[in-house]
Amino acid sequence: MTAPFARVVWISLFLACVPACSIKRMAVNKLGNALASGGSTYETDNDPQLVAEAVPFGLKLMESLLAESPKHTGLLEAASGGFTEYAYAFVAQTGDEIRATDLDRSNALQDRARKLYLRAHAYGIRGLESRYPRFGSRLEADAAAALARTRKRDVPLLYWTAASLGLAISGSQDKPEMIARLPLVEALIGRAAELDESWNGGAIPEFLISYESARSDVSRDAMQQAMRKHFDRALAISHGKRAGTYVSFAENACIPAQNAAEFKSLLEKALAVDTEATEENRLANLVAQRRARWLLGRVEELFLDTKGQ
């Protein structure tokens, strides 16, 4: 048992035995601080399957602590990011991979992922409300005014709140009320980009690639240009060390443009990213490379004409 995990277990047992509310709240907050700052343990791991099996325990532990300390900003941020990443990497991706062989289970997994995204979004809103009271209702009424109050420290919360809602919308194409919320995604991620575009090594422009692909208010050419701009910016910030950047552009831009040659080239570049070079992105790169391999195996399905490409 590793030291951090042992500490979590012992503190968890301690919490169950502590009668005094004030002491219990102090213990909850201490453990909450430890969990909120411990995301790097997962992010640097080189075993996605191990993480997939371990994350649910951590997420439920966070939720139990939030029941005791509902305004713990660090825990709310960690919960928002954790549920989003888990749903995307280990639920939705599995649903995509089995779609051709088990449609019913694939649909069930996609529905589960959508619910997890919405849970993540709710935690993100709560996190922002812990700093800015009534942020959620103000965001709905006047997004620009609500977001004008946010600062650089809020960028992680803004990102996960936007990403979780965007992913939930992408899995709700049959729900007009969800699609109508897309402008909120743009407002949230746009504010994050204003405050710190380079956060997390280019995660923001990388996300904007997929956001642009969901828009219906621009021409195909304008959409392609916007995605190319975000792709170039993400590469410049990350120095090409984020496999997800290549995968996102290949999937969201190359497939609609039916550019099989660039699609394959970008996915090969994603697979060539050294997962040991940037420890903080190791898990994300491994997950992105898994998707790259899956997409490369579907070239014949995704492109009408692959001859000479």
End-to-end CA distance of the chain: 50
Residue 25's pLDDT band, with cuts at 50, 70 and 90, is low
In angstroms, the CA 85 to CA 88 distance is: 5
Question: Is the distance from CB of 267 to CB of 255 less than 8 angstroms?
Answer: no
Residue 39's pLDDT band, with cuts at 50, 70 and 90, is low
Please give the backbone phi and psi of residue 136, each rounded to the nearest 5 degrees, phi first.
-60, -50
Tell me, what's the pLDDT at 29?
A: 65
What is the tens place of the pLDDT at every residue in 209-268?
999 988 878 888 999 999 999 999 999 999 999 999 999 999 999 999 999 999 999 999
Residue 101's pLDDT band, with cuts at 50, 70 and 90, is very high
At 159, list the tokens: 């990102």
Residue 10's pLDDT band, with cuts at 50, 70 and 90, is very low
Tell me, what's the pLDDT at 32?
A: 64
What is the tens place of the pLDDT at every residue in 278-299?
888 888 999 999 999 999 999 9
Average pLDDT over the chain, rounded to whole? 87
Residue 179's pLDDT band, with cuts at 50, 70 and 90, is confident
Please state the rounded mean pLDDT for residues 42-71: 86
pTM equals: 0.87
What is the tens place of the pLDDT at every residue in 114-128?
999 999 999 999 999
Domains in the chain (CATH in brackets) are 49-181 (1.25.40.920), 197-309 (1.25.40.920)
**Closest by alpha carbon to 24, among 39, 14, 9?**
14
Tell me, what's the pLDDT at 149?
A: 96
Residue 4's pLDDT band, with cuts at 50, 70 and 90, is very low
Share of the chain above pLDDT 70, in %: 85
Tell me, what's the pLDDT at 6?
A: 47
Question: Is the distance from CB of 252 to CB of 224 less than 8 angstroms?
Answer: no
Tell me, what's the pLDDT at 1?
A: 43
The 10 Å Cβ neighbour count of residue 197 is 16
Tell me, what's the pLDDT at 53?
A: 87
